Structure formats: C-alpha cells, structure tokens
Structure 1
Amino acid sequence: MSPAIKYTLGRVGLFVLVLGALSFAPLNLLVAGMIAIVVSAVASYFLLAKWRNEMNEQLVGVATRRKAEKDRLRAALAGDEDAAAQGDRAAGEKPA
C-alpha cells in the first residue's frame, strides 16, 4: 500500500477514534469535531511519524524524477542530441 494512503487512512482513523470517544461527552457535535481535529493532529504527530517519513521519502523521489525529466527535456529542446535520445521512445526501435 502506498505510504501516502497509509498515512491518510491513519489520520482519518485517529480522527474518527477521537470523535467517537468524544461522542460520549455532553458536547455539541461541532465543538467535539474541532476538539477531535486538534487532538488527532497532535496524536498523529507522535503516533504516525514513521508513516509520515515514508510518505515524505516517496514524495522526494517523485520530485527528483520529475526534475530530472524536466532538465532532460530542456536539454533536448536546446539541441542536446544525447538528452533527446534518452527520452525518445522510438530511438530503440528500428524502422521497418
């Protein structure tokens, strides 16, 4: 499962858990919801640190690949034949 999905489901799960616990208190639903948001955010900072770090690593990897592809495309547009050949899907195919 993707680290982003795990972390998101963990955050939502913590919120639902805290909101469920607060449902037994004599509070307005809006007030209970606001308290649940704050408490689940603080709890997720400590309880979901591993999943948050995994998600961060995944996002850094995606950003690095996008930047490399962007640089390659800019070089290809500037006339660099090697950069153009690296990303050319048809370069590996021989004409019939």
Structure 2
Amino acid sequence: MSPAVKYTLGRLGLFVLIFVLLLPLPLNILVRAMIALLVSAILSYFLLSDWRNQMGEQLAGASTRRSEEKERLRAALAGDEDAAAAGDRATVQEPTDAEPATADEKK
C-alpha cells in the first residue's frame, strides 16, 4: 500500500476515533468535529510520523523524476538528439537487407 494512502487512512481513522469518543458529550456536532479535527491532527503528528516521512520521500522522488523528465524534454526540444533518444519509448529497428522498411527503399 502506498505511503500516502496509509497516512491518509491513518489520519481519517484518528479523526473518526476521536469523534466517536466525543459522542457521549453534550456538544454541538460541529464543535465535536472541530475538537476531533484538532486532537487528531496533534496525535497524528506524533503517532504517524513514520508514515508521514515515507510519504514525503515518495513525493520527493516523484518530484525529482518529473524535474529530470522536464529537463530531458527541454533538451530534446532544444535539439539535443541524445536527450531525445533517451526518452524514446519505442525502439526503432534498422531494416535488414532481406526486408526493406519502406517501398521507397525498394527502388
């Protein structure tokens, strides 16, 4: 499971748990929700720190990959053929003597 999903479900679970614990108190539902939100945020800071750090590392890695791909695309658009070839998803095979690639090569 993704660290972002684990952290999000953990935060949501803490909120629901605190909200359910506040149900017996004679408070307005919005006041209960605000208290549950505040307490769950404080608890998640301490209890879910490992998952938060893992999520941060995952997001940093994705950001790094996007930045590298952006720079590669800019270099390819500027005319750098090595950068353009590095991003090709389909490999181009050279035609063999037995089978030419196009009809123009047969002439």
TM over 0.5: yes
Structure 1 vs Structure 2: percent identity of aligned residues? 67
Q: Alignment RMSD, CA only?
A: 0.9
Q: Which has the higher contact order (CA 8 A, sep 6+)?
A: 1
Take 1:89 and 1:57, find their aligned partners in 2: how far apart are those partners?
27
Name the one with the larger helix percent. 1
Q: Deviations over 1:27-53 (max 9, x none)?
A: 111100000000000000000000000
The residue type equivalent to 1:52 in the other structure is: R
Q: Structure 1 unaligned runs (5+)?
A: none
The correspondence of residues 1-96 of structure 1 with structure 2, limited to 5 A, is 1-90=1-90, 92-94=91-93, 96=101
Take 1:63 and 1:89, find their aligned partners in 2: how far apart are those partners?
21
The residue type equivalent to 1:76 in the other structure is: A
The residue type equivalent to 2:92 in the other structure is: E
Take 1:39 and 1:89, find their aligned partners in 2: how far apart are those partners?
49
Q: How many residues align?
A: 95
Q: Which consecutive segments of 4 or more residues in structure 1 shift more than 6 A?
A: none
Helix, strand or coil at the partner of 1:79: coil
Q: Structure 2 unaligned runs (5+)?
A: 95-100, 102-107
Report which of the two structures shows the higher radius of gyration computed on alpha carbons: 2
